[in-house]
Amino acid sequence: MVDMELKTEVADARNLDARNGVSRRDRFLIPEHNGEQALYFLGNSLGLQPRNARAHVDKVLQTWATTGVEGFFRGAEPWLQFHDTLAAKLAPVVGAQPAEVVIMNGLTVNLHLLMVSFYQPRGARNKIICEAKAFPSDQYMLETHLRQRGLDPSEIIVEVTPAEGSATITEAHILDCIHQHRDSVALVFWGGVNYYSGQLFDMENIARAAHEAGALVGFDLAHAAGNVVLRLHQWDVDFAAWCNYKYLNAGPGAVAAAFVHERYHQDATLQRMAGWWGYQKDTRFKMQKGFVPVQSAEGWGLSTPSPLLFAALAASLEIFEYVSMEELAAKGQEMSSYLISLIEGINTSAGRTIIQVLTPLGVESRGCQVSMLFQQGGLPVFEYLSQVGIYADWREPDVIRVAPAPLYNTFEEIWLLVQALEQACKKFLL
Ligand SMILES: *Cc1c(COP(=O)(O)O)cnc(C)c1O
Protein backbone atom coordinates (compact mmCIF):
# COMPACT_ATOMS: atom_id res chain seq x y z
CA MET A 1 0.00 0.00 0.00
CA VAL A 2 1.31 3.46 -0.82
CA ASP A 3 1.95 5.98 1.93
CA MET A 4 -0.94 8.24 0.97
CA GLU A 5 -3.46 5.46 1.41
CA LEU A 6 -2.03 4.57 4.80
CA LYS A 7 -2.26 8.17 5.91
CA THR A 8 -5.90 8.38 4.86
CA GLU A 9 -6.67 5.19 6.75
CA VAL A 10 -5.05 6.38 9.98
CA ALA A 11 -6.87 9.68 9.62
CA ASP A 12 -10.17 7.77 9.22
CA ALA A 13 -9.49 5.78 12.37
CA ARG A 14 -8.62 8.93 14.30
CA ASN A 15 -11.80 10.59 13.05
CA LEU A 16 -13.84 7.70 14.33
CA ASP A 17 -12.17 8.11 17.72
CA ALA A 18 -12.75 11.85 17.75
CA ARG A 19 -16.43 11.39 16.89
CA ASN A 20 -16.98 8.82 19.58
CA GLY A 21 -17.85 10.17 23.01
CA VAL A 22 -17.94 6.85 24.82
CA SER A 23 -14.24 6.33 25.49
CA ARG A 24 -13.12 6.39 29.13
CA ARG A 25 -9.57 5.34 28.29
CA ASP A 26 -8.08 7.89 30.68
CA ARG A 27 -9.77 6.07 33.57
CA PHE A 28 -7.85 2.82 32.95
CA LEU A 29 -4.27 1.68 33.43
CA ILE A 30 -2.95 0.43 30.07
CA PRO A 31 -0.27 -2.32 30.14
CA GLU A 32 3.04 -1.41 28.54
CA HIS A 33 5.33 -3.06 26.05
CA ASN A 34 8.91 -1.70 25.66
CA GLY A 35 7.96 1.49 27.46
CA GLU A 36 4.92 2.21 25.29
CA GLN A 37 1.25 1.46 25.71
CA ALA A 38 0.53 -2.06 24.49
CA LEU A 39 -2.48 -2.84 22.31
CA TYR A 40 -4.70 -4.74 24.73
CA PHE A 41 -7.56 -6.63 23.09
CA LEU A 42 -8.35 -9.03 25.91
CA GLY A 43 -11.22 -7.29 27.66
CA ASN A 44 -13.15 -10.52 26.98
CA SER A 45 -10.71 -12.36 29.23
CA LEU A 46 -9.63 -9.89 31.91
CA GLY A 47 -10.73 -6.27 31.67
CA LEU A 48 -8.13 -3.61 32.47
CA GLN A 49 -7.68 -2.05 35.87
CA PRO A 50 -9.65 1.12 36.54
CA ARG A 51 -7.27 3.80 37.85
CA ASN A 52 -9.39 4.25 40.93
CA ALA A 53 -9.41 0.54 41.88
CA ARG A 54 -6.39 0.89 44.14
CA ALA A 55 -7.92 3.80 46.08
CA HIS A 56 -11.16 1.87 46.62
CA VAL A 57 -9.34 -1.27 47.80
CA ASP A 58 -6.95 0.78 49.95
CA LYS A 59 -9.89 2.36 51.71
CA VAL A 60 -11.17 -1.06 52.80
CA LEU A 61 -7.69 -2.09 53.96
CA GLN A 62 -7.46 1.14 55.92
CA THR A 63 -10.85 0.65 57.58
CA TRP A 64 -9.96 -2.92 58.42
CA ALA A 65 -6.64 -1.73 59.91
CA THR A 66 -8.21 0.97 62.04
CA THR A 67 -11.58 -0.48 63.08
CA GLY A 68 -11.44 -4.25 62.52
CA VAL A 69 -14.86 -5.87 62.34
CA GLU A 70 -16.54 -2.52 63.03
CA GLY A 71 -15.92 -1.73 59.35
CA PHE A 72 -19.07 -3.70 58.57
CA PHE A 73 -21.21 -1.28 60.56
CA ARG A 74 -19.37 2.02 61.03
CA GLY A 75 -18.05 4.93 59.04
CA ALA A 76 -19.36 6.83 56.05
CA GLU A 77 -19.67 3.66 53.95
CA PRO A 78 -20.20 0.62 56.19
CA TRP A 79 -19.33 -2.64 54.39
CA LEU A 80 -22.81 -3.96 55.14
CA GLN A 81 -24.23 -1.41 52.71
CA PHE A 82 -21.83 -2.21 49.87
CA HIS A 83 -24.02 -4.88 48.38
CA ASP A 84 -27.14 -2.79 47.87
CA THR A 85 -25.20 0.22 46.58
CA LEU A 86 -23.42 -1.94 44.03
CA ALA A 87 -26.47 -3.98 43.00
CA ALA A 88 -28.25 -0.71 42.22
CA LYS A 89 -25.39 0.27 39.88
CA LEU A 90 -24.98 -3.16 38.32
CA ALA A 91 -28.71 -3.67 37.66
CA PRO A 92 -28.96 -1.17 34.75
CA VAL A 93 -25.93 -2.81 33.07
CA VAL A 94 -27.97 -6.01 32.67
CA GLY A 95 -31.47 -4.52 32.49
CA ALA A 96 -32.60 -5.77 35.88
CA GLN A 97 -34.39 -4.27 38.86
CA PRO A 98 -31.88 -3.71 41.69
CA ALA A 99 -33.67 -6.34 43.83
CA GLU A 100 -33.17 -8.92 41.06
CA VAL A 101 -29.36 -8.75 41.30
CA VAL A 102 -27.22 -10.49 43.88
CA ILE A 103 -23.45 -10.04 43.87
CA MET A 104 -21.69 -13.12 45.22
CA ASN A 105 -19.26 -16.00 44.67
CA GLY A 106 -17.84 -16.95 41.29
CA LEU A 107 -19.80 -17.50 38.10
CA THR A 108 -19.68 -21.30 38.03
CA VAL A 109 -20.63 -21.51 41.71
CA ASN A 110 -23.63 -19.29 41.03
CA LEU A 111 -24.73 -21.47 38.14
CA HIS A 112 -24.77 -24.53 40.39
CA LEU A 113 -26.79 -22.64 43.01
CA LEU A 114 -29.31 -21.37 40.46
CA MET A 115 -29.71 -24.84 38.96
CA VAL A 116 -30.87 -26.04 42.37
CA SER A 117 -33.79 -23.64 42.16
CA PHE A 118 -34.51 -23.49 38.45
CA TYR A 119 -33.84 -26.94 37.07
CA GLN A 120 -37.03 -28.64 38.15
CA PRO A 121 -37.43 -31.94 36.31
CA ARG A 122 -40.96 -33.37 36.54
CA GLY A 123 -41.44 -36.84 35.12
CA ALA A 124 -40.79 -36.84 31.41
CA ARG A 125 -40.25 -33.07 31.44
CA ASN A 126 -36.59 -33.29 32.37
CA LYS A 127 -34.48 -32.17 29.38
CA ILE A 128 -32.01 -29.30 29.35
CA ILE A 129 -31.45 -27.65 25.97
CA CYS A 130 -28.08 -25.92 25.66
CA GLU A 131 -25.50 -24.94 23.06
CA ALA A 132 -22.96 -27.53 21.96
CA LYS A 133 -19.38 -26.57 22.89
CA ALA A 134 -20.47 -24.18 25.60
CA PHE A 135 -17.63 -22.83 27.73
CA PRO A 136 -16.05 -25.87 29.45
CA SER A 137 -16.95 -24.77 32.97
CA ASP A 138 -20.62 -24.63 31.97
CA GLN A 139 -20.42 -28.11 30.50
CA TYR A 140 -18.77 -29.49 33.67
CA MET A 141 -21.34 -27.69 35.79
CA LEU A 142 -24.26 -29.32 33.95
CA GLU A 143 -22.65 -32.74 33.86
CA THR A 144 -21.79 -32.92 37.56
CA HIS A 145 -24.90 -31.11 38.72
CA LEU A 146 -27.09 -33.69 37.03
CA ARG A 147 -25.08 -36.61 38.39
CA GLN A 148 -25.39 -35.50 41.99
CA ARG A 149 -29.14 -35.36 41.48
CA GLY A 150 -29.03 -38.97 40.37
CA LEU A 151 -29.57 -38.19 36.67
CA ASP A 152 -27.62 -39.32 33.64
CA PRO A 153 -26.34 -36.24 31.75
CA SER A 154 -26.45 -38.07 28.42
CA GLU A 155 -30.20 -38.61 28.87
CA ILE A 156 -30.95 -35.09 29.99
CA ILE A 157 -28.79 -32.75 27.94
CA VAL A 158 -29.87 -31.86 24.40
CA GLU A 159 -27.12 -29.93 22.62
CA VAL A 160 -27.85 -27.67 19.68
CA THR A 161 -24.91 -27.69 17.27
CA PRO A 162 -23.80 -25.24 14.58
CA ALA A 163 -24.45 -26.22 10.97
CA GLU A 164 -21.67 -28.22 9.31
CA GLY A 165 -18.71 -25.97 8.49
CA SER A 166 -20.04 -23.04 10.54
CA ALA A 167 -19.14 -21.73 13.99
CA THR A 168 -22.52 -20.14 14.57
CA ILE A 169 -25.93 -21.57 15.46
CA THR A 170 -28.90 -20.17 13.55
CA GLU A 171 -31.79 -18.87 15.56
CA ALA A 172 -34.22 -20.99 13.55
CA HIS A 173 -32.29 -24.07 14.61
CA ILE A 174 -32.49 -23.14 18.31
CA LEU A 175 -36.20 -22.33 18.18
CA ASP A 176 -36.91 -25.53 16.24
CA CYS A 177 -35.11 -27.60 18.81
CA ILE A 178 -37.05 -26.00 21.67
CA HIS A 179 -40.30 -26.58 19.80
CA GLN A 180 -39.44 -30.20 19.02
CA HIS A 181 -38.86 -30.88 22.71
CA ARG A 182 -41.88 -28.94 23.91
CA ASP A 183 -43.19 -31.96 25.84
CA SER A 184 -39.93 -32.83 27.54
CA VAL A 185 -37.90 -29.65 28.07
CA ALA A 186 -37.53 -28.40 31.64
CA LEU A 187 -34.84 -25.78 31.12
CA VAL A 188 -33.21 -23.88 28.28
CA PHE A 189 -29.74 -22.86 29.40
CA TRP A 190 -27.81 -20.70 26.98
CA GLY A 191 -24.88 -18.26 26.68
CA GLY A 192 -25.69 -14.65 25.81
CA VAL A 193 -22.56 -14.30 23.68
CA ASN A 194 -20.61 -17.41 22.71
CA TYR A 195 -17.05 -17.23 24.04
CA TYR A 196 -15.51 -18.88 20.97
CA SER A 197 -17.35 -17.39 18.01
CA GLY A 198 -18.48 -14.12 19.56
CA GLN A 199 -22.03 -14.85 18.39
CA LEU A 200 -24.68 -12.81 20.21
CA PHE A 201 -27.96 -14.68 20.61
CA ASP A 202 -31.44 -13.20 20.60
CA MET A 203 -32.14 -13.86 24.25
CA GLU A 204 -35.61 -12.37 24.12
CA ASN A 205 -36.72 -14.84 21.45
CA ILE A 206 -35.06 -17.76 23.17
CA ALA A 207 -36.75 -16.84 26.46
CA ARG A 208 -40.14 -16.56 24.77
CA ALA A 209 -39.75 -19.90 22.99
CA ALA A 210 -38.64 -21.60 26.20
CA HIS A 211 -41.64 -20.30 28.11
CA GLU A 212 -44.03 -21.24 25.29
CA ALA A 213 -42.65 -24.77 25.51
CA GLY A 214 -43.35 -24.84 29.25
CA ALA A 215 -39.69 -24.58 30.26
CA LEU A 216 -37.68 -22.12 32.33
CA VAL A 217 -34.79 -20.18 30.82
CA GLY A 218 -31.39 -19.19 32.18
CA PHE A 219 -28.42 -17.42 30.62
CA ASP A 220 -24.70 -17.39 31.21
CA LEU A 221 -23.75 -13.79 30.50
CA ALA A 222 -19.97 -13.99 31.01
CA HIS A 223 -19.30 -12.52 27.54
CA ALA A 224 -22.46 -10.46 27.37
CA ALA A 225 -22.49 -8.37 30.57
CA GLY A 226 -20.88 -5.01 29.85
CA ASN A 227 -20.61 -5.88 26.14
CA VAL A 228 -24.14 -5.88 24.75
CA VAL A 229 -27.53 -4.45 25.70
CA LEU A 230 -29.40 -6.74 28.10
CA ARG A 231 -32.97 -6.39 29.33
CA LEU A 232 -33.25 -9.39 31.60
CA HIS A 233 -36.33 -8.21 33.44
CA GLN A 234 -38.21 -7.12 30.34
CA TRP A 235 -37.29 -10.30 28.46
CA ASP A 236 -38.79 -12.24 31.35
CA VAL A 237 -35.65 -14.30 31.88
CA ASP A 238 -35.92 -16.62 34.88
CA PHE A 239 -32.29 -16.51 35.99
CA ALA A 240 -28.84 -15.50 34.79
CA ALA A 241 -25.29 -15.34 36.07
CA TRP A 242 -22.10 -13.63 34.98
CA CYS A 243 -18.58 -12.86 36.10
CA ASN A 244 -17.44 -9.28 36.60
CA TYR A 245 -13.81 -9.60 35.52
CA LYS A 246 -14.29 -9.62 31.73
CA TYR A 247 -16.04 -6.57 30.25
CA LEU A 248 -16.88 -5.35 33.74
CA ASN A 249 -13.24 -4.76 34.72
CA ALA A 250 -13.59 -5.67 38.41
CA GLY A 251 -10.26 -7.50 38.54
CA PRO A 252 -8.89 -11.04 38.51
CA GLY A 253 -11.19 -13.42 40.37
CA ALA A 254 -13.71 -10.61 40.89
CA VAL A 255 -16.90 -11.33 42.78
CA ALA A 256 -19.57 -12.56 40.34
CA ALA A 257 -23.29 -11.84 40.16
CA ALA A 258 -26.64 -13.46 39.50
CA PHE A 259 -30.10 -12.39 38.37
CA VAL A 260 -33.29 -13.91 39.73
CA HIS A 261 -36.54 -12.59 38.28
CA GLU A 262 -38.68 -10.85 40.90
CA ARG A 263 -41.57 -13.31 40.46
CA TYR A 264 -39.52 -15.85 42.44
CA HIS A 265 -38.55 -13.63 45.33
CA GLN A 266 -41.42 -14.68 47.56
CA ASP A 267 -41.75 -18.24 46.32
CA ALA A 268 -41.20 -20.43 49.38
CA THR A 269 -41.55 -23.65 47.38
CA LEU A 270 -38.33 -23.23 45.41
CA GLN A 271 -35.44 -25.41 46.49
CA ARG A 272 -32.25 -23.58 47.29
CA MET A 273 -28.90 -23.96 48.98
CA ALA A 274 -28.96 -21.47 51.81
CA GLY A 275 -26.55 -19.74 54.15
CA TRP A 276 -26.85 -17.00 56.70
CA TRP A 277 -26.12 -14.22 54.21
CA GLY A 278 -29.38 -15.00 52.41
CA TYR A 279 -31.35 -14.81 55.67
CA GLN A 280 -33.79 -11.93 56.11
CA LYS A 281 -31.87 -8.89 57.19
CA ASP A 282 -33.67 -7.49 60.22
CA THR A 283 -33.39 -10.74 62.15
CA ARG A 284 -30.21 -12.20 60.62
CA PHE A 285 -28.06 -11.57 63.63
CA LYS A 286 -30.54 -13.11 66.05
CA MET A 287 -29.13 -16.40 64.78
CA GLN A 288 -32.44 -18.24 64.88
CA LYS A 289 -33.23 -21.76 63.71
CA GLY A 290 -35.08 -22.22 60.40
CA PHE A 291 -34.10 -20.46 57.16
CA VAL A 292 -36.13 -17.39 56.17
CA PRO A 293 -34.83 -15.87 52.91
CA VAL A 294 -34.45 -12.19 52.07
CA GLN A 295 -37.28 -11.54 49.62
CA SER A 296 -35.03 -10.49 46.77
CA ALA A 297 -32.22 -12.07 44.74
CA GLU A 298 -30.08 -11.62 47.85
CA GLY A 299 -32.05 -14.52 49.30
CA TRP A 300 -29.79 -16.73 47.19
CA GLY A 301 -26.69 -15.46 49.01
CA LEU A 302 -24.82 -17.74 51.39
CA SER A 303 -21.57 -16.38 52.68
CA THR A 304 -20.04 -13.22 54.07
CA PRO A 305 -19.07 -11.14 51.06
CA SER A 306 -15.56 -9.71 50.67
CA PRO A 307 -15.48 -5.91 50.99
CA LEU A 308 -12.11 -6.02 49.18
CA LEU A 309 -13.70 -7.58 46.10
CA PHE A 310 -16.73 -5.29 46.39
CA ALA A 311 -14.36 -2.31 46.44
CA ALA A 312 -12.75 -3.35 43.16
CA LEU A 313 -16.20 -3.78 41.60
CA ALA A 314 -17.22 -0.37 42.95
CA ALA A 315 -14.28 1.22 41.14
CA SER A 316 -15.43 -0.33 37.88
CA LEU A 317 -19.11 0.52 38.27
CA GLU A 318 -18.22 4.14 38.94
CA ILE A 319 -17.22 4.24 35.26
CA PHE A 320 -20.35 2.47 33.99
CA GLU A 321 -22.54 4.92 35.86
CA TYR A 322 -21.85 7.62 33.30
CA VAL A 323 -22.10 5.62 30.08
CA SER A 324 -25.28 3.91 28.97
CA MET A 325 -25.05 0.31 27.80
CA GLU A 326 -26.85 1.39 24.61
CA GLU A 327 -24.00 3.78 23.72
CA LEU A 328 -21.33 1.39 24.84
CA ALA A 329 -22.72 -1.60 22.95
CA ALA A 330 -23.25 0.49 19.82
CA LYS A 331 -19.61 1.55 19.90
CA GLY A 332 -18.47 -2.02 20.54
CA GLN A 333 -20.43 -3.20 17.50
CA GLU A 334 -19.07 -0.34 15.41
CA MET A 335 -15.56 -1.37 16.47
CA SER A 336 -16.07 -5.00 15.50
CA SER A 337 -17.59 -3.87 12.17
CA TYR A 338 -14.55 -1.70 11.51
CA LEU A 339 -12.20 -4.53 12.41
CA ILE A 340 -14.04 -6.99 10.17
CA SER A 341 -13.93 -4.57 7.23
CA LEU A 342 -10.15 -4.14 7.62
CA ILE A 343 -9.68 -7.93 7.83
CA GLU A 344 -11.66 -8.28 4.58
CA GLY A 345 -9.15 -5.80 3.13
CA ILE A 346 -6.31 -8.25 3.89
CA ASN A 347 -8.20 -11.01 2.08
CA THR A 348 -8.97 -8.75 -0.86
CA SER A 349 -5.31 -7.70 -1.29
CA ALA A 350 -4.23 -11.32 -1.06
CA GLY A 351 -6.82 -12.38 -3.64
CA ARG A 352 -8.06 -15.19 -1.38
CA THR A 353 -9.38 -15.84 2.12
CA ILE A 354 -6.46 -16.00 4.51
CA ILE A 355 -8.44 -15.00 7.56
CA GLN A 356 -11.98 -16.27 7.88
CA VAL A 357 -14.11 -14.27 10.30
CA LEU A 358 -16.05 -16.77 12.46
CA THR A 359 -18.08 -14.10 14.20
CA PRO A 360 -21.43 -13.35 12.54
CA LEU A 361 -21.17 -10.52 10.03
CA GLY A 362 -24.61 -9.14 10.92
CA VAL A 363 -24.10 -6.42 13.51
CA GLU A 364 -27.16 -7.51 15.53
CA SER A 365 -25.51 -10.90 16.13
CA ARG A 366 -22.29 -9.79 17.78
CA GLY A 367 -20.78 -7.50 20.37
CA CYS A 368 -17.22 -6.20 20.21
CA GLN A 369 -15.42 -9.55 19.91
CA VAL A 370 -14.11 -10.85 16.58
CA SER A 371 -12.84 -14.42 16.14
CA MET A 372 -10.54 -15.13 13.22
CA LEU A 373 -9.88 -18.55 11.76
CA PHE A 374 -6.56 -18.92 9.95
CA GLN A 375 -6.91 -21.24 6.99
CA GLN A 376 -3.24 -22.24 7.05
CA GLY A 377 -2.63 -22.26 10.79
CA GLY A 378 -2.26 -18.97 12.59
CA LEU A 379 0.17 -19.77 15.40
CA PRO A 380 3.13 -17.84 13.91
CA VAL A 381 0.80 -14.89 13.33
CA PHE A 382 -0.33 -15.01 16.95
CA GLU A 383 3.29 -15.23 18.15
CA TYR A 384 4.21 -12.27 16.00
CA LEU A 385 1.40 -10.20 17.53
CA SER A 386 2.61 -11.06 21.03
CA GLN A 387 6.18 -10.06 20.14
CA VAL A 388 5.12 -6.62 18.95
CA GLY A 389 3.07 -5.95 22.09
CA ILE A 390 -0.41 -6.89 20.96
CA TYR A 391 -2.51 -8.82 23.46
CA ALA A 392 -4.79 -11.27 21.66
CA ASP A 393 -6.07 -14.72 22.52
CA TRP A 394 -5.11 -18.02 20.90
CA ARG A 395 -7.51 -20.98 20.71
CA GLU A 396 -6.18 -24.28 19.43
CA PRO A 397 -5.85 -25.19 16.67
CA ASP A 398 -6.21 -22.08 14.50
CA VAL A 399 -8.27 -19.25 16.01
CA ILE A 400 -7.24 -15.80 17.23
CA ARG A 401 -9.83 -13.87 19.23
CA VAL A 402 -9.67 -10.14 19.86
CA ALA A 403 -12.13 -7.89 21.64
CA PRO A 404 -11.82 -4.13 21.24
CA ALA A 405 -13.41 -2.90 24.46
CA PRO A 406 -15.37 0.29 23.76
CA LEU A 407 -14.49 1.81 27.15
CA TYR A 408 -10.76 1.85 26.57
CA ASN A 409 -9.74 0.61 23.11
CA THR A 410 -9.56 2.99 20.16
CA PHE A 411 -10.26 2.68 16.43
CA GLU A 412 -6.64 3.65 15.86
CA GLU A 413 -5.54 0.65 17.90
CA ILE A 414 -7.72 -1.56 15.72
CA TRP A 415 -6.08 -0.10 12.66
CA LEU A 416 -2.63 -0.76 14.13
CA LEU A 417 -3.68 -4.33 14.97
CA VAL A 418 -4.67 -4.99 11.38
CA GLN A 419 -1.41 -3.45 10.11
CA ALA A 420 0.43 -5.96 12.29
CA LEU A 421 -1.83 -8.79 11.15
CA GLU A 422 -1.13 -7.94 7.53
CA GLN A 423 2.63 -7.84 8.17
CA ALA A 424 2.47 -11.22 9.85
CA CYS A 425 0.34 -12.76 7.10
CA LYS A 426 2.83 -11.53 4.49
CA LYS A 427 5.72 -12.93 6.49
CA PHE A 428 4.28 -16.34 7.28
CA LEU A 429 1.28 -17.15 5.11
CA LEU A 430 1.72 -15.58 1.67
C1 LIG B 1 -15.32 -16.87 31.55
C2 LIG B 1 -16.44 -17.83 31.60
C3 LIG B 1 -16.67 -18.63 32.72
C4 LIG B 1 -15.73 -18.59 33.88
O5 LIG B 1 -16.32 -19.05 35.04
P6 LIG B 1 -15.67 -18.71 36.47
O7 LIG B 1 -16.50 -19.48 37.40
O8 LIG B 1 -15.74 -17.23 36.62
O9 LIG B 1 -14.24 -19.15 36.44
C10 LIG B 1 -17.76 -19.48 32.72
N11 LIG B 1 -18.60 -19.53 31.66
C12 LIG B 1 -18.41 -18.76 30.56
C13 LIG B 1 -19.36 -18.83 29.42
C14 LIG B 1 -17.31 -17.91 30.49
O15 LIG B 1 -17.09 -17.19 29.41
Q: What is the pLDDT of residue 237?
A: 98
Same domain, 139 and 182: yes
Question: Which residues make Cβ contacts (< 8 Å) with residue 404, sequence separation at least 6?
Answer: 41, 43, 332, 335, 336, 339, 368, 413, 414
Does a structural domain hold residue 36? Answer: no
Same domain, 223 and 366: no
Task: State the closest ligand 1 atom to the C-alpha of 191, by its place in the atom list counted from 1.
Answer: 13
Q: For a pLDDT cut of 90, what percent of the chain falls above it?
A: 92
Q: Is the CB of 106 under 6 A from ligand 1?
A: yes
Question: Which residues make Cβ contacts (< 8 Å) with residue 138, sequence separation at least 6?
Answer: 108, 111, 130, 189, 191, 220
Q: Is the CB of 138 under 6 A from ligand 1?
A: yes
Q: What is the pLDDT of residue 42?
A: 98
Residue 342: CATH number of its domain: 3.90.1150.10
Q: Is the CB of 223 under 6 A from ligand 1?
A: yes
Same domain, 104 and 201: yes
List the residue whose alpha carbon is closest to atom 10 of ligand 1. Answer: 137
Q: Is the CB of 135 under 6 A from ligand 1?
A: yes
Q: Which position has the higher pLDDT, 311 or 8?
A: 311
Q: What is the pLDDT of residue 2?
A: 62
Does a structural domain hold residue 47? Answer: no
Least confident of 37-41, 72-76, 196-200, 333-337: 72-76
Same domain, 343 and 316: no
Does a structural domain hold residue 227? Answer: yes
Distance, CA 347 to ligand 1 centroid (Å)? 33
Quick: pLDDT tens for 99-150: 999 999 999 999 999 999 999 999 999 999 999 999 999 999 999 999 999 9
Cα separation values, 251 from 326, 370, 374, 402, Å: 23, 23, 31, 19
Residue by residue, DSSP assigns 67-130 as: HGGGGGT-SSS-GGGHHHHHHHHHHHHHT--GGGEEE-S-HHHHHHHHHHHH---BTTB-EEEE
Does a structural domain hold residue 40? Answer: no
Quick: pLDDT tens for 295-314: 999 999 999 999 999 999 99
List the residue whose alpha carbon is closest to atom 2 of ligand 1. Answer: 222
Q: Is the CB of 401 under 6 A from ligand 1?
A: no
Rounded average pLDDT over 235-247: 98
pLDDT bracket for residue 5 (50, 70, 90)? confident
Tell which of 320, 336, 363 closes a domain.
320
Average pLDDT, the chain: 96
**In the 8-state DSSP scheme, what is residue 283?**
G
Same domain, 407 and 260: no
Does a structural domain hold residue 35? Answer: no
195, 200, 313: residue to mutate for ligand 1 pocket, most atoms within 8 A of CB: 195
Same domain, 78 and 165: yes
SS3 36: strand
Q: Could you tell me the residue range of the domain that residue 207 belongs to? A: 55-320
Does a structural domain hold residue 43? Answer: no
Same domain, 142 and 92: yes
Count up the domains in the chain and report the number: 2
Q: Is the CB of 243 under 6 A from ligand 1?
A: yes
Q: Is the CB of 108 under 6 A from ligand 1?
A: yes
44, 103, 108, 143: residue to mutate for ligand 1 pocket, most atoms within 8 A of CB: 108
Same domain, 177 and 303: yes
Rounded average pLDDT over 351-377: 95
At residue 219, what are phi and psi to the nearest 5 degrees?
-125, 140
Does a structural domain hold residue 38? Answer: no
Q: Is the CB of 142 under 6 A from ligand 1?
A: no
Task: State the closest ligand 1 atom to the C-alpha of 253, by its place in the atom list counted from 1.
Answer: 8
138, 189, 243: residue to mutate for ligand 1 pocket, most atoms within 8 A of CB: 243
Q: What is the pLDDT of residue 360?
A: 96
107, 108, 110, 145: residue to mutate for ligand 1 pocket, most atoms within 8 A of CB: 107
Q: Is the CB of 46 under 6 A from ligand 1?
A: no
Contact 310, 105 (CB under 8 A): no
Rounded average pLDDT over 335-343: 98
List the residue whose alpha carbon is closest to atom 14 of ligand 1. Answer: 222
SS3 204: helix
Tell which of 320, 349, 384 closes a domain.
320
- Cα gap 279→259, rounded to integer Å: 18
Rounded average pLDDT over 330-334: 97
Q: What is the pLDDT of residue 407?
A: 98
Does a structural domain hold residue 49? Answer: no
Q: Is the CB of 222 under 6 A from ligand 1?
A: yes
1, pLDDT greater than 70: no
List the residue whose alpha carbon is closest to atom 8 of ligand 1. Answer: 107
Task: State the closest ligand 1 atom to the C-alpha of 220, by its place in the atom list counted from 1.
Answer: 13
Distance, CA 83 to ligand 1 centroid (Å)? 22
The number of C-alpha atoms within 13 Å of 373 and in the hemisphere containing its C-beta is 13
Same domain, 246 and 164: yes
3, pLDDT greater than 80: no
Residue 263: CATH number of its domain: 3.40.640.10
Same domain, 197 and 281: yes
Same domain, 358 and 252: no
Same domain, 223 and 237: yes
Q: What is the pLDDT of residue 139?
A: 97
Residue by residue, DSSP assigns 160-191 as: E-PPTT-SS--HHHHHHHHHHTTTTEEEEEEE
Distance, CA 243 to ligand 1 centroid (Å)? 7
List the residue whose alpha carbon is closest to atom 1 of ligand 1. Answer: 222
Rounded average pLDDT over 163-185: 95
Rg (CA), the chain: 23
Tell which of 301, 320, 339 closes a domain.
320
